[in-house]
Structure 1
């Protein structure tokens, strides 16, 4: 691994070098005469390094100007020109913290020490006095000692305040174990890296030595919070390390600290493939080293399976596909970490072998990428020529990453777009020009990507592409305008188009459209390769005219983003699936046209037609959000929306393919909404707490979060359709009067109202990927005139004394979707009490019938008096599946009436919120004849299935009047037999 030599300082950077030297000289002069003399006495070699480093790095210059004495001291110690000895940096920081008296002083000293070391490391990296290994090692050691010594300083002070945590089983004092993940764990930190940590402690118990003891977990949570603040908070002195805790179990929604038993149980029962990948590099970086070693040994079976685990390839392939989607969506092809042939691909290659073989071959159980590459060579997993190329390519990319980050101590892997920064990167990397550097960079990215595809890519892909090379050749003359109109129309007619003339007009309109005319040469070449293939596959369908009508708008929409055309050209299976789905559903065609990123979902047929279960949905969404910085709300909102679009497409595709029955379609769409709401609540909670502090309960303890989102209607009844909105009610159980404990305190009522507003904002704001859901809050107490968020007590009072009968009907289908389990149980108790009270059945029948009559008058088909007129069953009439007599709402009202009428005697009727299972309950307790109950279930499913089909065809939920005649009459008969009018 050769060390790139610095190039000669180019003319473009000479002014920067001169200005840096002069500015630092002036800063020293302003400090003292002695400082100026010390600066002027620097040897020629150091002055030359100063000019080179000053031209390349704004960070070094800024730090030198801010604290010239720090730079002078580094130079005087010789640390700019030598490597630090073992333990030397740790002892330096220990000395710096020796007289530290409080947490504010701890924060200042840590940051000043970090700035000193960062300046030294960047200086040595840019001046080529340190190679990649030393730079990464020093950065990782800096993180280690800052984490550990900050912890060692904080721990005894928290013990004085809250007592010493004692293990319940061992009876011994407990310490935190701090695991460093990712590049920190592998001693491979880059120049401006964040650190991924997981906190654990050996065993439960309580603190001792103070009057009021704390549970061990609560003690370590408080300690962890203070440690994060000491490292992560941005002050006038900057920060120590950006600290990311989202790799812990359950991510941001999980506890900050877990006991060893809880960690072991989580990874055994719920650990995901990506968590295995992350845990490969886990290392104890602070706290109790001995206990940490025991923890890693406990978790080893989760990471390394005893058998050859070839499923790891598929897991890594899926992870890479997710990253590629992010790269495409964010326009990050110039990202040397995540883009094709980037740093991440080398890491994936190494970790694929580790995950597959590491359980049996202990030599692969290493953290360092270079060490793993050596093992892959020595053990014969890969040829030496391959590992040599991967090593050299990875080193080049990492040096380039440091060049990008050393300019301004900024966390970036994107190639610069300004001439000055391009000149800096080329200079640092030893090239005379940006062009020369970029050419070499693309060489290495090409080699890495090639090796990556040999290991990770689907082996069937090459065969599929090769077999498809000549597809569409017969359509080339038509698209290339080598035929006249008559010949083109004749070819289209002969191929199976019903109207060749119209098809020809559509093709020529695409070719002459503004989007195609504005395409660059490469994009046009891609379009010319794609359209003949499209036509060749279109004629294989029963209705090629419909295929062309629905797919060509998509082609026009993505013409300027021709990477999607390549995706479809090189993946004929994906193109085939696209045409099939678009032919089956104009709704799907419209969705993909509006959001072309959904084309990625067509690549994997098994995944497309097999949407994940509820736990997998939640875990996948959590994993996606983990890759986004917590402060980047815009990207979090985009990720949520893309997740919804992708999974909604999978459900629709599965429904069309017949692999998902109606009830499962609604289940999946409901699970999808719940997974999204769970993360939206977490995001909104973090944002609101960050601004105002946590709200309080009546006993003064902090809420966590003492808030639930209740779903009514279709989401409450687990009956969501493709375009359904969400009927929601927000309920909290905090103290409305108590102020929050933040920098901008507000009372509890205001806090929860703002939390509710933030949730609605996250759900309804239009972004490039649309909105998540339309939200209807009118079912909250007092409707639109009521508070946005109700306290549990106020909700109970309203339901007991003020709510109308129709609001109790709605409550039948209400259930807690996400939020605090304790408040959720309290809500269920209120619901059971309200719905289960004794009612006058005559009054109830009258009120339910009156409400249904009003709905029919306002929402039913006017021409047939909402399905009650004599002509309602004729082919010339229409039947509104939902609102007309005998339709969906009639069945829902009957179920709601029955639940209100008889749940006092049969509380089991309140167990479920969906109509199908409530009807099962009515049959089970003998309140509805079994035949009638089953008829209503079948009719209800038939109606909803028809409504789903209409939605996928972008049609309203209305059919001709001669459909569902027997079903409607059956519903109307049972309606009358229940005494409703």
Structure 2
């Protein structure tokens, strides 16, 4: 190497390049492409956090559009911005590679931050929003354009941030601009949603005047509400809707429209399009979380907060701010909820619950991540935020000066009020800014949501250069460790201050002795929040009415019954809600008083199953079923089908028909849940019931959608749905998705029109089957080519694909294919096609090896290091997957010669394998026991918590609750755990021997 070349490489190393030979070549190539001298290009390279990435990004873009890159790099300011931005973010390099024309905007970027008004104006202009809040187009292309403009504005903000001489000092400004940009993009997305809600040709839409009369406010929560947002973060929101004052629009209609607008607004931002999603819009801070209505009126919100909200929900409301939509309605929401926020610390055990919440957050961090967690770990961002918010909520009851949402504004306010020492305030202020700067730089790298410090020396070196906090990787580590220590020490001192509990405690309204005795008694029998329980009891039993007299008679007995359940506190809460919903209904309390088992069943159900309890709140009349074993048994398929077909004759409108279908499904799912929890049905009966309910729901939905979507001249189009996976095998559990395939056949319809109709049918099926109260996920991932393949195909296309391309896994997937809805002739034709694939002659040795390899890969990839595989009921050793894959392998190998193996049922296939002497009865019994127990545990976990999980919990209370549902005796948490681990271990030995051996 010549001295000159060596000198050049030395200069590159001094500037900060690490891949010296590659950089030298890339510089020469870039210089030639853009017509800028090599030395000029390098003049600003030292300011880049990662010069190698910046250079590689510029070259990639120049290879696509050299003239745009040339224009930027020939401008001194543009060149400086380009090095800093692309050196800090390969994510922006990817953006400019997709959208090279946007790069030219860097010439003017970084000089100042866009204002709130400018951001809103730019986003509205990007979608052509008019004065009434409607966009020029409701097509997906409008959202793509909005995403592009948002990222261009994000680059403006990032450029200002990166060009700042003191990035720590501008953290608050930058965070506020990011929050304003998020609000602006939500407002513009809402404008597109309004236009999209008009529908095409009047189909599926709402009249313009009704949309205009619908008020929808979007409240920013968390960091967005506080104007302290990150570069890439979930944006927490709450939706409030109502009819405009003076309009004739019914409240129910306004909420229906507002819900459609909210859904579309979110999808426009985080749905899959040509331009990647921006961030997730998270509405789960709303009342009742994921189970609650997406949009409520202001009155409904207030009723919930007045009666049911937990302490953490008031803490979340501290940061609520209207950011999009109807700002006046949003401001009314904030004005109405703020008094609740500042009185919330007087709730029983408020301080203790806040402290436990912080501890729970830390307990859920994977152990390997704790030392690297910038946000959630000890000494991280959350330590500062939790301490500041707790001080605000406790002392803010009487001091309005500290009622501010932003953490960086609250710290000096607490300092001024004397609630925090000046030295502590100074450290908190500085360290919070530094932590947020670190978080920002980490997220800029890939424009991705992350809160973990780099674990490599190169990563730490780049972070040090990006933040300006240190000059080396070791220096960056030292800064990080110092901040963690300082923050944690102050957090512990403030957050666990003994005085907080005393300040928060309200004077007692009743005689202390009586109340203490009552609380002690409730605590002794199992209530975890006896003071809260007392308030519910008082609400239920107070007054002189006949209802109150009966409740006072029943309550002592029912409290003991509640205490026998896994969660007596929850059972009591739901009982109160149901009592209030049923009002003065005479049969309710009379049944509880006089029926031999209704009260016991109700208390057991409500204190054992959140899944059932949440549904019962919305279907309170279901309490009547508890008086009769017959009414808790699943209804027959014929009866449900008759009711579903009647819906078609009663409701011409698609939306009305679907409301009726959803009501039918919720009601029958609740009936199945009741039977499962109260031991009235077996696991096989539950699977049959859930499958029947899903079949009937899909058939009714498909009939309604086809009637709405397919024009009269094309009604000969055949369309069908095939059940796959556990659904196809009639083996559904509570919380299971419905795996499906979609098929069509033109039948005298022009092929292109048939394809379009089929696509619209699928889109409408997925839209109208959505149920936020009881989700029904139509999962088509088992289709040919998986997620990459067309979501709907013609019968001929399926035949061609299976003839030419299908592999062993697709034949395996078809083993559980079952026609469930649509054209019978088309289903028969498809099942004949499926039979030829799944029951073909025995696969060759290579195909068998491939099946075994896929099984092993699924276990390794989907059971992550954070999971205990022995507790994974589906994919863990001895779980559902083991039994199902073994049976399916036997079917693939022998079903061609043994017709009895041609079944979609796992247990049916296992029985046939025993009959054919492919497996011994002893081995089959071990596999059968594991499969049944895993299915029962999985469903019981969903029934207990209302949430779906494949993991056997480690929490003893949850294990105890699962044991109650499975009819174990009290205090059987350990037995439940041991039964599963032992059963699974024995089944895995059989599986390993038969499947891999």
TM-score under structure 1 length normalisation: 0.52
Shift of 1:393: 1.1
Tell me the secondary structure at the aligned position of residue 106 of structure 1: helix
Tell me the secondary structure at the aligned position of residue 286 of structure 1: strand
Aligned to 1:227: 265
Instruction: Name the CA shift for 1:747/1:351 in 2 (closer, same or farther; >3 Å).
Output: same
Structure 1 position 739 matched with structure 2 position 702 = yes
Aligned to 1:116: 152
1:501-516 alignment runs, 5 A limit: none
Shift of 1:207: 8.3
Q: 2:976 & 2:240 partners in 1: Cα distance?
A: 52
Q: 1:331 & 1:668 partners in 2: Cα distance?
A: 42
Q: 1:749 & 1:666 partners in 2: Cα distance?
A: 35
Counterpart contact for 2:612–2:673, Cα < 8 Å: no
Q: 1:145 & 1:954 partners in 2: Cα distance?
A: 52
Shift of 1:26: 6.4
Instruction: Name the CA shift for 1:819/1:19 in 2 (closer, same or farther; >3 Å).
Output: closer
Tell me the secondary structure at the aligned position of residue 475 of structure 2: helix
1:755-774 alignment runs, 5 A limit: 757=731, 759=733, 768=868, 770=871
Pick from 421, 445, 449 the counterpart of residue 488 of structure 2: 449
Shift of 1:291: 1.9
Aligned to 2:18: 12
Q: 1:158 & 1:712 partners in 2: Cα distance?
A: 36
Pick from 202, 206, 209 the counterpart of residue 162 of structure 1: 206
Structure 1 position 717 matched with structure 2 position 678 = yes
Tell me the secondary structure at the aligned position of residue 871 of structure 2: coil
Aligned to 1:837: none
Structure 1 position 302 matched with structure 2 position 340 = yes
Structure 1 position 125 matched with structure 2 position 155 = no
Shift of 1:59: 1.2
Counterpart contact for 1:165–1:208, Cα < 8 Å: no
Instruction: Name the CA shift for 1:67/1:102 in 2 (closer, same or farther; >3 Å).
Output: same
Instruction: Name the CA shift for 1:664/1:952 in 2 (closer, same or farther; >3 Å).
Output: farther
Listed one character per residue, the Cα deviations across residues 353-372 of structure 1 (whole Å, up to 9, x for unaligned) are 22112222112221111111
Structure 1 position 145 matched with structure 2 position 184 = yes
Q: 2:729 & 2:464 partners in 1: Cα distance?
A: 48
Instruction: Name the CA shift for 1:204/1:68 in 2 (closer, same or farther; >3 Å).
Output: closer
Q: 1:148 & 1:299 partners in 2: Cα distance?
A: 23
Structure 1 position 41 matched with structure 2 position 98 = no
Instruction: Name the CA shift for 1:400/1:608 in 2 (closer, same or farther; >3 Å).
Output: farther
Shift of 1:955: 14
Q: 1:668 & 1:330 partners in 2: Cα distance?
A: 42
Aligned to 1:216: 254
Structure 1 position 101 matched with structure 2 position 146 = no
Tell me the secondary structure at the aligned position of residue 403 of structure 1: helix
Shift of 1:380: 0.7
Structure 1 position 435 matched with structure 2 position 471 = no
Instruction: Name the CA shift for 1:293/1:433 in 2 (closer, same or farther; >3 Å).
Output: same
Counterpart contact for 2:116–2:181, Cα < 8 Å: no
Instruction: Name the CA shift for 1:195/1:86 in 2 (closer, same or farther; >3 Å).
Output: closer
Instruction: Name the CA shift for 1:818/1:36 in 2 (closer, same or farther; >3 Å).
Output: closer
Shift of 1:771: 5.6
Listed one character per residue, the Cα deviations across residues 595-633 of structure 1 (whole Å, up to 9, x for unaligned) are xxxxxxxxxx989975569999xxxxxxxxxxxxxxxxx
Tell me the secondary structure at the aligned position of residue 144 of structure 1: helix
Instruction: Name the CA shift for 1:442/1:952 in 2 (closer, same or farther; >3 Å).
Output: closer
Shift of 1:745: 8.3
Structure 1 position 60 matched with structure 2 position 92 = yes
Counterpart contact for 1:709–1:819, Cα < 8 Å: no
Counterpart contact for 1:184–1:196, Cα < 8 Å: yes
Counterpart contact for 2:729–2:904, Cα < 8 Å: no
Tell me the secondary structure at the aligned position of residue 350 of structure 2: helix
Q: 1:745 & 1:250 partners in 2: Cα distance?
A: 38
Counterpart contact for 1:345–1:452, Cα < 8 Å: yes
Shift of 1:298: 1.6
Aligned to 1:674: 609
1:949-960 alignment runs, 5 A limit: none
Aligned to 1:347: 385
Counterpart contact for 2:686–2:733, Cα < 8 Å: no
Counterpart contact for 1:55–1:424, Cα < 8 Å: no
Instruction: Name the CA shift for 1:48/1:678 in 2 (closer, same or farther; >3 Å).
Output: farther
Aligned to 1:238: 276
Instruction: Name the CA shift for 1:752/1:166 in 2 (closer, same or farther; >3 Å).
Output: farther
Q: 2:523 & 2:142 partners in 1: Cα distance?
A: 54
Shift of 1:301: 2.6
Counterpart contact for 1:179–1:286, Cα < 8 Å: yes
Pick from 55, 77, 80 the counterpart of residue 21 of structure 1: 55
Tell me the secondary structure at the aligned position of residue 312 of structure 2: helix
Shift of 1:96: 2.2
Aligned alpha-carbon RMSD (Å): 5.2
Instruction: Name the CA shift for 1:51/1:679 in 2 (closer, same or farther; >3 Å).
Output: farther
Listed one character per residue, the Cα deviations across residues 878-926 of structure 1 (whole Å, up to 9, x for unaligned) are xxxxxxxxxxxxxxxxxxxxxxxxxxxxxxxxxxxxxxxxxxxxxxxxx
Counterpart contact for 2:287–2:301, Cα < 8 Å: yes
Instruction: Name the CA shift for 1:712/1:393 in 2 (closer, same or farther; >3 Å).
Output: closer
Counterpart contact for 1:217–1:258, Cα < 8 Å: yes
Counterpart contact for 2:138–2:192, Cα < 8 Å: no
Structure 1 position 72 matched with structure 2 position 108 = no
In the alignment, structure 2 segments of 5+ residues that lack a partner are 1-12, 24-49, 130-135, 200-204, 501-521, 534-563, 569-597, 618-643, 710-717, 738-861, 881-901, 907-938, 944-963, 980-997
Shift of 1:389: 0.7
Shift of 1:37: 4.4
Shift of 1:118: 2.1
Counterpart contact for 1:139–1:191, Cα < 8 Å: yes
Structure 1 position 369 matched with structure 2 position 407 = yes
The structure number with the bigger radius of gyration is 1
Aligned to 2:82: 50
Counterpart contact for 2:239–2:295, Cα < 8 Å: yes
Pick from 647, 662, 687 the counterpart of residue 704 of structure 1: 662
Aligned to 1:325: 363
Shift of 1:413: 0.2
Tell me the secondary structure at the aligned position of residue 285 of structure 1: strand
Counterpart contact for 2:147–2:277, Cα < 8 Å: yes
Pick from 105, 122, 136 the counterpart of residue 92 of structure 1: 122
Q: 1:305 & 1:312 partners in 2: Cα distance?
A: 11
Counterpart contact for 1:28–1:39, Cα < 8 Å: no
In the alignment, structure 1 segments of 5+ residues that lack a partner are 1-6, 462-604, 617-646, 652-662, 683-694, 776-783, 789-815, 821-940, 958-981
Counterpart contact for 1:614–1:668, Cα < 8 Å: no
Instruction: Name the CA shift for 1:407/1:371 in 2 (closer, same or farther; >3 Å).
Output: same
Counterpart contact for 1:614–1:672, Cα < 8 Å: no
Counterpart contact for 2:379–2:488, Cα < 8 Å: yes
Listed one character per residue, the Cα deviations across residues 162-192 of structure 1 (whole Å, up to 9, x for unaligned) are 136779xxxx933111111100000111011
Aligned to 1:200: 240
Listed one character per residue, the Cα deviations across residues 28-61 of structure 1 (whole Å, up to 9, x for unaligned) are 475364x354234221x65345334433321122
TM-score under structure 2 length normalisation: 0.51
Q: 2:194 & 2:673 partners in 1: Cα distance?
A: 48
Counterpart contact for 2:179–2:224, Cα < 8 Å: yes
Counterpart contact for 1:312–1:355, Cα < 8 Å: no
Shift of 1:320: 0.6
Tell me the secondary structure at the aligned position of residue 214 of structure 2: coil
Tell me the secondary structure at the aligned position of residue 415 of structure 1: coil
Instruction: Name the CA shift for 1:460/1:324 in 2 (closer, same or farther; >3 Å).
Output: farther
Tell me the secondary structure at the aligned position of residue 215 of structure 1: helix
Structure 1 position 412 matched with structure 2 position 450 = yes
Shift of 1:950: 8.6
Aligned to 1:543: none
1:569-584 alignment runs, 5 A limit: none
Instruction: Name the CA shift for 1:233/1:317 in 2 (closer, same or farther; >3 Å).
Output: same
Q: 2:485 & 2:604 partners in 1: Cα distance?
A: 41
Q: 2:322 & 2:474 partners in 1: Cα distance?
A: 43
